[in-house]
Structure 1
Amino acid sequence: MASVPDSGGAWLVRDGHVLATLEAAATRAERRRGLLGRDRIEGVLHLVPARSVHTFGMRFPIDVVHLDGDLRVLRIRTMVPNRLGAFVPA
């Protein structure tokens, strides 16, 4: 299983190149807060664990990427505010 950073200050990297900053939401409180109250996000918010995502109360659309245990992409979907995303099995 691939490792996931458990605090801020991390990066999403591919072939040695930084693609985006990474913010991990690993606790229940961090996942519950998510992106609420923000006008945008610079980078990636990684919800660990999360098998579904909603955008209720969001101010902007987001791209949702579902990953497997090895961090391989299973599904990508753009979600507008006030929607409930599909459940993705583990």
Structure 2
Amino acid sequence: MPVFRRLDEPESRWVEIHIDGQPTQAREGDSVAAALLAAGLRSCRTTPISGAARAPFCMMGVCYECLVEIDGVPNRQSCQITVQEGMQVRRQIGASEGYS
């Protein structure tokens, strides 16, 4: 049973995004973090030092646990970005280019 599931909203519009190169349906208006969770992905990045898995935690931009690469730009807070048709999302493994 998934840890995260959507509330029913029959009038939702769906868009296609790509997560790690795989096409995925996301609900228009969802944050990227919500789309990752709804797609069944338990982590969105790993830490640069230990490689420990990290996942969205606060969902309001405070904790920085949800960092991903979006359309080629690393270290984006996925909870603060709304999905867009055709968006390319990559989960970050360790330190990314531009990590400081």
Alignment TM class, shorter chain as reference: under 0.3
Higher normalized contact order (CA 8 Å, seq sep 6+, divided by chain length):
2
More strand by share: 1
The normalised TM-score by structure 1 is 0.25
TM-score (norm 2): 0.24
